[in-house]
Amino acid sequence: MQTTIKAYAKINLTLDITGKRADGYHLLSMVMQSVSLCDELTLTQAESGIRILSNRDDVPCGESNTVYRAAAGFFEYAGVQPNVTIAIQKRIPSQAGLGGGSADAAAVLLALNEMLQTGYSKEILCKIGLRVGADVPFCIVGGTVFAQGIGEKLAALPAMPHCHIVICKPLCGVDTKKAYALADSAAKTDIAFSSAMVDAIHAADLHMIAENLGNEFENVMNLAEVTRIKRTMKLMGALGACMTGSGSAVFGIFNDLPKATTCKAALLKDYDNVFLCEPVTTGSEKSV
């Protein structure tokens, strides 16, 4: 038995850090959006064990891989002996704030649920996924979501209006732990982005959405490459641009496909990882 599934990347339309729990986890308020940039995972039933394969040498294929951990967690919850080989076709850049590892973990949980015909609800899959990473529950649900807590408290929002999204990851990557440490040491402000974004999504107003993009990590990290990419996107017609997650990828929102295509071409002169995509309403879906 074999199944192939797409694992969609995410962007943070907003990200506010609202506090920190006693166990060290940070409390967040975010509006998250799935986009059509995706990895593709093929799961094949095996005799025993969990085997991970990847098209990229920089992807660990052992027990530290989020895909391995998600599969192991699923089999443990189901009380079934592991018996799967998972081949990952990576397209989502790492250390970018695009949730690639979380998207892959979520896709594996959804695919195993179908392959083994366990019939688990998304609530159960989210419970398993949260043990792998805080973004995994969102990637299971997907679409346009208001997320709180450590990322596990999810409230579905109306779908983001159709648009074109250019994503560019600079050469520099960002270590999430270092990003949080920097945010902890920075002076707190009263600026909060997510409430206004929720209103903009409900209004289905793309210009209002673009005007209210905001990310607390971007403000405290102040990466020169992020500033440069945002400037280029806006000069090329983006309605708004912002860093996603803890970085370092930047996205720009366009309502004009030719302008988005031209922007992608311009950024490709200086950066290798540039993508043109659009919003999607799911976190993963079976490939045809």
pLDDT by 10-residue block (mean), the chain, 288 residues: 96 95 90 98 95 88 93 97 96 94 98 96 97 96 96 96 98 79 76 94 98 94 94 98 95 98 98 98 87
Is 272 one of the annotated active-site residues of the chain? no
Give me the pLDDT at residue 56, please: 87
The phi, psi pair for 112, rounded to 5°, reads: -65, -35
Catalytic residue among 10, 90, 122, 169: 10
Question: What is the model's pLDDT at position 288?
Answer: 61
The whole-number pLDDT of residue 130 equals: 96
Please compute, for residue 130, the number of CA atoms within 13 A of its CA located in the half-sphere on the CB side: 14
Instruction: For tokens 């920075």, name the residue.
Output: 186
Compute φ and ψ for 27, nearest 5 degrees: -95, 135
pLDDT at res. 1: 85
110 burial via Cβ count (<10 Å: 0-12, 13-18, 19+): buried
Q: What is the domain partition of the chain in residue ranges?
A: 2-158, 164-277
Exposed/middle/buried for residue 85 (C-beta within 10 Å: 0-12, 13-18, 19+): middle
Rounded to 5 degrees, what angle do the CA atoms 86, 55, 46 make?
Answer: 20
Do 104 and 66 touch, CB atoms closer than 8 A? yes
- The radius of gyration of the chain from alpha carbons, rounded to an integer in Å, stands at 18
CATH class of 2-158: alpha beta
Domains 2-158 and 164-277 share a fold: no
The H or E element containing residue 271 is: none
The class (CATH top level) of 164-277 is: alpha beta
Q: Is the separation of the CB atoms in 9 and 98 below 8 Å?
A: yes
Question: Which of 205, 269, 277 is CA-nearest to residue 11?
Answer: 277
Q: Which of 135, 169, 230, 259 is catalytic?
A: 135
The pTM assigned to this predicted structure is 0.95
135 catalytic residue (yes or no): yes
